[in-house]
Structure 1
Amino acid sequence: MTELRTDIAVVGGGLGGVAAALAAARSGLRVLLTEEYDWVGGQLTVQGTPPDEHPWIEQFGCTASYRRLRDGIRDYYRHWYPLSAAARRRPALNPGAGRVSALCAEPSAAHAVLRAMLAPHRASGLLDLRLGHRPVAATTDGDAVTSVTLRDLDSGEDVTVTAAYFLDATETGELLPLTGTEYVTGFESQADTGEPSAPARRQPLNMQAASWCFAVEHRAGEDHTIDKPDDYGFWRDYRPPYWPDRMFSMVAPKPQTLRPATRVLIPDPAPGEPALQGLAGDLDLWAFRRVLARSSFEDGALAGDVVIVNWPMIDYVEGPLYEVEPAAAARHLAGARQMSLSFLYWMQTEMPRPDGSTGLPGLRLRGDVVGTADGLCMGPYIRESRRIRAVYTVTEQDVSLAIRGDRGAVAYEDSVGIGSYRIDLHPSTGGDNYIDVASSPFRIPLGALLPERMCNLLPAAKNIGTTHLTNGCYRLHPVEWNAGEAAGLLAAYCLRHRTTPHQVRAQPARLADYQSALTGHGVEIAWPDIRGY
């Protein structure tokens, strides 16, 4: 067994993990960054999901390093791609012209930029990046983590890492059970949190749907129909009791009202397509998460658009992908893949089209866009993680617009960042439909990054101290990045000043000094006075 010593070990290379590693390396510390998959970037790359962001993202409301990521993606297209003259002039370039975000781009492009951001620190020797490694064991001494063992998924060999600080940036909070860190999963009860939208009883296995996304283009006149999936009959007829129709249909609930709404899918539509007139939000499926749009490039540069399929039809709610027996977890993981492949086959063969015909056999998987041979993303889109039992847990009452009103979200004095998004929960493994609660722009409290007991393990992703409900607004791309960056800078601050994370929060002078370090790195810790959200 190989042994490795570093200052800070960041386990998990999603957005929070990359942000944490960059922050610690910028601070001059030796950092190990590990990731299970072949790409860094988590929900943006491995899981194929364009960024969910707030309406002010082009002006403010994210960290400076997250803005460098966004600018870097745009520069990547300006430098390497044959953009149209109009797109090249556009400061807020959106290569995919997707509706979900002001920056919809290929997961492969985002991965390339993230690797470029890490490259100088790897060259300096401060950052050791190890892909294809997953945590399998850990040791502790009282309230401290002493080591984490990682398995090389290619060779099967193990490496044991010792570090002063361990940051859990995995997609499902894998270090928490391995280290005995107290955590929660699923839905807390009203008695636990006092949240108006919580159920009467705790539901630890009631988690948001996972979705195995994929990228497609459409080749008119060609047949790219995949082999019929083994479970196709089951998924074609699948209908949860709260769903208005079979999930494989063009009718799905509108999240804000739960009323049935009809979606439309027209590949590469001509300008002014009548069937798409007046369709807002995700009702025009093709445009919603489009990551390459022909209109952004020179004539003839692209045969057609490329879109990410992350739509209501592939929300897997049959069971959670973790916190269950390994055989059940493997079954659900395979089920999520089968559901997505079945939906693709349904689109290719049976999907009703506005012109009265059925099926789009020209839909072609674009595995190159997501880095795989089979065309599906490397991993499933995980919306909900294990979450630490924190010194402070953010609740619905802290951010709900209906509760807070003109006061805005709670203005935590120990803020380490900001974010904004609705409480947006997808259908769940416990039988819930969408839960959608308007929220105010919010802060990230330092207390949510501190486990109740463990002193040198910090959450750096979607595993911070939120509830099932508030995870719905703290789980998005810029907030995860911010949480990871704050955790990386906190570990660096504690090492430099020979203090602990809990002491930083408890001592006003320390807290002010740490917050000054955050702002010095370009982390916004308070919102300007904004209206109209």
Structure 2
Amino acid sequence: MRAPMASLYVNAPVMVTRRQLLSHMALVPFAPRLLHALGQSAPGADERADLVIIGGGLGGCAAALSACAHGLRVIMTEETDWIGGQLTAQGVPPDENRWIETIGGTASYRGLRSAVRDQYRRDPALLERARTNARLNPGNGWVSRLCAEPRAWLTALEAQLAPYIASGALRVLSHTRAAAVDVTGDRIRAVRVQDASGRTTVLHAPYFADATELGDLLPLSNAEHVLGAESQAMTGEPHAAGEYQPDNQQSFTMVFAMEHMAGEQHVIDRPAEYARWRAQTVSVDGTPWPILGFDEPANKRIGFDPVARTGYWSYRRIIDRTLFTAGKYASDITLVNWWQNDYSFGPLAGVSATEAAQHVRSAKALSLCLLYWLQTEAPRPDGGAGWPGLRLRTDVLGTADGLAMAPYIRESRRVRARTTVREQDVLRDLNPSGAQTTAFADSVGIGHYAMDLHRTTRGDTGGYGDTLPFQIPLGALIPVRLRNLLPACKNIGVTHLTNGCYRLHPIEWNIGEAVGHLVAQSLATRVPPVGIHEQRARTEDLQRTLTAAGVPLAWPTPLPAG
């Protein structure tokens, strides 16, 4: 594939109008860095805004959009080259609820999904039967109703941010992370950030949002927070651990993209760590299974066949070549985020930067070993071994090694909040009233997903039952002490267990969107978020704002068919 046109603009002087900018984006699909270039200038000693958002994932982007819609000035940082977090830099198609096409998310999130579909509909190679499908799924992956290329999600996100970047309301600082936080009493005064070159900038604002994937601002600001698995004594949850286990965190994954070129040879060099991972087993219900394999019963039922285009091949497939005219794509393209490359052999939070970096390197090695095993040893239906035509697509995820820019992180540090959502609040089996949805009077959004925990660093596995369609309580966004810090990602007031159902794409977006509206109300009324939460009338004012913006606060009853 040709290099993205956006790369031509990264260091060029910015002298375009908003109309020119949007026109350019309409003509150049999948232009991943243009808006970063337009929204970023060289860091200075100090920068000021109404809201500083640390982290440019889905929650960060949604917070920026809703805050800017209220006329606020926003600075958002992002550690990688791509905003969008799970959908882009981490390479994960959206995990969503079955009502997402109509009532299962915010209007702006559904607008993002529509924009992605529209990009594909503008492609002349898309077949008419696909173009006219109101629920077009470009990859026909079965993990999601909308599996698409990370660059498509990126382009749609950047188009949403474009007007605010063009007007100067929003600045995006890429390759930038938080280095230190200046706290006085119960308020953050400033956050010092550092870019890839080592230059530092001090960001000042009345409000700060932590939209990082691991809740990085929480320890830097000494905010009360929880890491890992709580004990039953801490939460009263029936499935909680007997003791507090801060090192017990969900696995993360280094995603990669591949295609299958039948009759061709694309076997990578044997990875240096292949013998180690080939011998590695993981325990499921007390039985050890090879991590590189499909022997474990659930995995065996799914299977893998790139020729028949079944099993894991179609699971997270982002391009189904049969939806396009012959020759547009030589193969399907699929993303590999499977049981086999879930890395559960060490955490990323609560350890030194050196140890975390080592775990990331090992997770990358595991993913490449999985690819090599698929190419050389994986059992085929015809009795042979390996598919040498599997080719690593280094272009799909925007990296030289073909692996995602960032780890797919399932579990973050979590703020100690005024409300902590426990499994008693969401598990259907623990709900004696027979209610069909949860009930939080201070709701700022909705979501639904199973309480799904992937293999953890202590070897825990499994789901814990069906959940009720649930709400996002405002109290889960309000720290117990700090008055101007707001969680805007997976770091809200949930537990190790309920993080398993609150960590998904549309919910993270809803959380961030609510944070942007909350900050706008706090600035307009000069009442901090905790004051809004403490006063029912002010909470209701916020809820009216959210409803007007297309954020549903409760599930309808009875629930419609999905």
TM-score normalised according to structure 1 size: 0.95
Deviation, structure 1 residue 253: 5.2
* Pair 1:455 & 2:498 matched: no
Cα deviation 1:92-149 (Å, max 9, x = unaligned)? 1100001011100001110111111111110111001111101111101100000001
2: CA distance, partners of 1:71 / 1:409: 27
Structure 1 SS opposite 2:122 = helix
TM-score normalised according to structure 2 size: 0.90
Moved more, 241-250 or 63-72: 241-250
* Structure 2 counterpart of 1:280: none
* Pair 1:175 & 2:217 matched: yes
2: CA distance, partners of 1:302 / 1:203: 47
1: CA distance, partners of 2:256 / 2:124: 22
User: Alpha carbons of 1:199 and 1:71: their partners in 2 closer, same or farther (altered >3 Å)?
Assistant: same
User: Alpha carbons of 1:202 and 1:266: their partners in 2 closer, same or farther (altered >3 Å)?
Assistant: same
**What is the one-letter code of the residue matched to 1:340?**
S
2: CA distance, partners of 1:253 / 1:356: 19
Deviation, structure 1 residue 263: 3.1
* Structure 2 counterpart of 1:160: 202
* Structure 2 counterpart of 1:318: 345
Contact 1:17 1:460 in 2 (8 A): yes
Contact 2:349 2:412 in 1 (8 A): no
Contact 2:438 2:468 in 1 (8 A): no
1: CA distance, partners of 2:418 / 2:312: 41
Cα deviation 1:358-397 (Å, max 9, x = unaligned)? 1111111112211111111101110000000010000000
**What is the one-letter code of the residue matched to 2:233?**
A
Work out which of the residue numbers 14, 17, 21 in structure 1 matches 2:64. Answer: 21
Q: How does 1:47-86 map to 2 (within 5 A)?
A: 47-80=90-123, 82-86=125-129
Deviation, structure 1 residue 252: 3.0
* Structure 2 counterpart of 1:475: 503
1: CA distance, partners of 2:294 / 2:71: 52
**What is the one-letter code of the residue matched to 2:360?**
L
Deviation, structure 1 residue 209: 0.4
Q: How does 1:206-285 map to 2 (within 5 A)?
A: 206-242=248-284, 243-252=287-296, 254=298, 261-269=300-308, 284-285=311-312
1: CA distance, partners of 2:471 / 2:171: 31
Contact 1:268 1:305 in 2 (8 A): no
Contact 1:391 1:447 in 2 (8 A): yes
Q: How does 1:383-402 map to 2 (within 5 A)?
A: 383-402=410-429
2: CA distance, partners of 1:431 / 1:291: 30
Structure 1 SS opposite 2:205 = strand
Percent identity (aligned): 51
1: CA distance, partners of 2:350 / 2:323: 43
Moved more, 56-65 or 457-466: 56-65
* Structure 2 counterpart of 1:495: 523
* Pair 1:128 & 2:171 matched: yes
* Pair 1:303 & 2:345 matched: no
* Structure 2 counterpart of 1:257: none
Contact 2:438 2:469 in 1 (8 A): no
Work out which of the residue numbers 145, 155, 161 in structure 2 matches 1:118. Answer: 161
Count of residue pairs the alignment pairs up: 515
* Pair 1:442 & 2:481 matched: no
Contact 2:411 2:499 in 1 (8 A): yes
Runs of 4+ off more than 4 Å = none
Moved more, 456-465 or 371-380: 371-380
2: CA distance, partners of 1:2 / 1:235: 46
Structure 1 SS opposite 2:120 = helix
* Pair 1:379 & 2:379 matched: no
Contact 1:251 1:263 in 2 (8 A): no
**What is the one-letter code of the residue matched to 1:483?**
I
* Structure 2 counterpart of 1:504: 532
**What is the one-letter code of the residue matched to 2:162?**
A
Deviation, structure 1 residue 434: 2.2
Work out which of the residue numbers 167, 187, 210 in structure 1 matches 2:229. Answer: 187
Contact 1:10 1:168 in 2 (8 A): yes
* Pair 1:336 & 2:378 matched: no
Moved more, 511-520 or 243-252: 243-252
RMSD (CA atoms): 1.3
Deviation, structure 1 residue 244: 4.5
Question: Structure 2: where are the runs of 5+ without partners?
Answer: 1-43
1: CA distance, partners of 2:334 / 2:558: 33
* Structure 1 counterpart of 2:13: none
**What is the one-letter code of the residue matched to 1:250?**
F
Deviation, structure 1 residue 268: 4.5
Deviation, structure 1 residue 410: 3.0
2: CA distance, partners of 1:80 / 1:218: 23
User: Alpha carbons of 1:28 and 1:229: their partners in 2 closer, same or farther (altered >3 Å)?
Assistant: same
2: CA distance, partners of 1:408 / 1:457: 33
